[in-house]
Amino acid sequence: MRSTFLLLATVIAGCSSARGADRQGQAVAETFKEPPVVASSAGVLRISLTPRMSTVTVAGRQATLMAYDGLYAPPTLRVRRGDTIRLRLTNALNEPTNFHAHGLTVSPRGNSDNIFLHVAPGQMQDYEIRLPANHPPGLYWYHPHPHGFSDEQTRNGMSGALIVDGLLDPFPTLRHLPERLLLLKDLQIRDGRVAITHIGENTIRTINGMVNPVIVLRPGETQLWRIGNVGGDLYYLLTLDGHRFQVVARDGNRRARLTTLDTLRLSPGARVEVLVTAGSPGVYLLRTGDIDTGPAGNKYKGAVMATVRVEGSPVSPVVLPPALLPVEDLRGKVTNRRTIVLSESNDGNTFFIGGKTFDMNRTDIRVKLGAIEEWTIRNEADELHTFHIHQGPYQLIEINGVAQPADDHRDIVDVPIKGEVKVIIPFTNPLIVGRFVFHCHILSHEDKGMMATIEVTP
C-alpha cells in the first residue's frame, strides 16, 4: 500500500544527483511553466473551449493532434466551493465529443456533468456545473468522455486540470505555501500525427506538455505540488532523488494525516497533492520507474520527468501540523453489498463488467438515495484494471483481504491481477440523483466495453 499514495517531499539530507543527470544524458530544454489559468469571479467561472485539429510542438517535434483551442496543455480551471462553471464547448472535430469534470461531486443530469450528452461535429453545447458549498477542495481534472472516443481524444491531449481552492486553508503554517501544478501526459508521434499504438511504445512523457523541465527550489523551501495523471492509459511510478514525499490529499480529497513515502504510484486518472521540502543545494531528478501491468498488459520503461535544482539562499523550515482533519469512516454504516466482476476476452479486444460490454441505453444498477454500499471489485484478468465511479469518491477498505486504514477517500484504485478490492460508496448526496457510470479508467479498456451504468433514484 505504500505505493498507492501520492506524496509530500521530506528531504534525505545531502543526497545530490548532479552526476545522475549526466549519466542520463538528459538535455534540459525548457524552464518549468504551468498551463494558463481561468479562475472564477463572483462565484462563476466562464470559459469557452473548442477542440480542433491543431499543430503543436512537443519535445522539439511537431505533431498534428486534437487539442482545446490549439493548446496541448489547455487552461487550468480554478474555482471555489459553491461556484458555478459555465462552459461552452464548440466541437470543431470530425467526431463526437463532450466534457467530463472528473471527480467532482455534482449533478449528472441535464447540462451538468452528463457524459451521456454527445456534442456532434460542428455543434455547440453549454454546460452549467454547480459545486456544493461543502465540496472537497483539491485537484480534479477534465477530459472528453464519449464512448468509443475517450481514449483517442485524451491521448491526443484533450485534458486539463480543475482545482477547487482551499485545500490548505485550515492550516496556518501551510496555507501560504507556493504551489506547483504537474500534469503528467504522454503521446506517441508517427509521421507528424498522434499514433494510437501499443501502450507505452515510443512514448514521449511530459509534464505540462514539456519534456524534462527544470524546477527550482531554495534549500529548505516547502512547496505544495499538485500532481495529476491526465493521460489515457499509462501508469507513473514517481521518485525524487534524495527526497521523500508526504501526502496531503489523494484524488482531490484531503487525508486525515500526512503520510511519508518514497515512491508515488499514479494510475490513469489519479491525482496526489504533496508537500515537497528541498534539501541541500544540488541537482535532483524526478523520475518515473519501469511498469509492468501483467502478462496480458503492458511493459514500459521509466524516464526522467523533470530536473529539480536546489539553489539560492536557504529558507526556514515550515512547521507541519501533527494531523490534518478527520476523514469519515464508512465502515459500520453499510446498507447493501454487491460484487462487480471485471474481465476480458482471450484476444484482449473486448472488456466486460459483469460479463457485459457497455450499453448506454441499459441501466445496470439502481440505488436508492441514502444507501451506503460495499462493493467487492474482482479482477479476473491477467492485467491490472482501475476502478472509477463518477459523481464522488469512495473509501477503500480492503486489498486482497488486507484491511486498509480509514485515512482518505478517493476515486481511483487499482484492482490487482486475479485479485479484488473492497470499497464503500456513499450514495447520500442529493446532488447525485440521476444516471452516471463506473468503469476502468484505463481508457482503452473503457472504450472497448469495460464500463457500466448506475442510476441513483430519490
Torsion on CA atoms 50, 203, 271, 419, rounded to nearest 10: 120
CATH of 2-26+170-310, one of 3.30.70.20, 2.60.40.420, 3.40.50.1010, 3.30.70.100: 2.60.40.420
Strands 37-39 and 76-79: parallel
Contact 246, 12 (CB under 8 A): no
Average pLDDT over residues 345-349: 91
| DSSP letter assigned to residue 91 | -
pLDDT at 144: 98
Q: Which residue has the cell 511498469?
A: 291
Average pLDDT over residues 97-105: 98
Question: Which residue type does 187 have?
Answer: L
SS3 153: helix
Number of residues written out for the chain: 458
Q: Which residue has the cell 549519466?
A: 23
Q: Residue 385 forms beta bridges with which residues?
A: 415
CB atoms within 10 A of CB 2: 12
The pLDDT > 90 percentage for the chain reads: 86
Read off the pLDDT of residues 199-239 as tens digits, 9 standing for 90 and up. 666 789 999 999 999 999 999 999 999 999 999 999 999 99
pTM: 0.93
Contact 80, 88 (CB under 8 A): no
Q: Residue 26 forms beta bridges with which residues?
A: none
Average pLDDT, the chain: 92
26-53 burial, b at 16+ Cβ within 10 Å, e below that, comes to beeeeebebbeebebeeeebebebbbee
Separation of alpha carbons 335 and 433, rounded Å: 18
The overall longest dimension of the chain from CA atoms, in Å, is: 62
Sheet containing 138-143: give its strands across: 37-39, 76-79, 160-164, 138-143, 100-102
- 14 pLDDT tier (thresholds 50, 70, 90): very low
Residues of the chain with CATH 2.60.40.420: 2-26+170-310, 37-164, 336-457
Separation of alpha carbons 153 and 394, rounded Å: 27
CB-based contacts of 62, cutoff 8 Å, min separation 6: 55, 56, 192
Q: Which residue has the cell 500534469?
A: 183
Contact 191, 202 (CB under 8 A): no
Read off the pLDDT of residues 384-406 as tens digits, 9 standing for 90 and up. 999 999 999 999 999 999 999 99
Alpha carbon 286 to chain centroid, angstroms:
18
Average pLDDT over residues 183-211: 86
State yes or no: pLDDT of 17 exceeds 50. no
Separation of alpha carbons 276 and 248, rounded Å: 11
pLDDT at 200: 62
Average pLDDT over residues 279-292: 96
Average pLDDT over residues 9-19: 38
The alpha carbons of the chain give a radius of gyration, in whole angstroms, of 21
**48 φ, ψ to 5°?**
-115, 135
Separation of alpha carbons 364 and 437, rounded Å: 9
Asked: is 37-164 a CATH 2.60.40.420 domain? The reply is: yes
- 420 pLDDT tier (thresholds 50, 70, 90): very high
E strand or H helix that includes residue 150: helix 150-156
Instruction: Tell me the fold of 336-457.
Output: Immunoglobulin-like (2.60.40)
Per-residue cell: 54: 491543431
Distance in Å from the first CA to the final CA of the chain: 37
Give the E-state strand segments of 91-213 in sequence order. 100-102, 124-130, 138-143, 160-164, 179-187, 189-190, 193-194, 204-207
Separation of alpha carbons 215 and 265, rounded Å: 21
- 143 pLDDT tier (thresholds 50, 70, 90): very high
Q: Which residue has the cell 454547480?
A: 130
Per-residue cell: 183: 500534469
State yes or no: pLDDT of 338 exceeds 80. yes
Contact 350, 398 (CB under 8 A): no
Contact 441, 400 (CB under 8 A): no
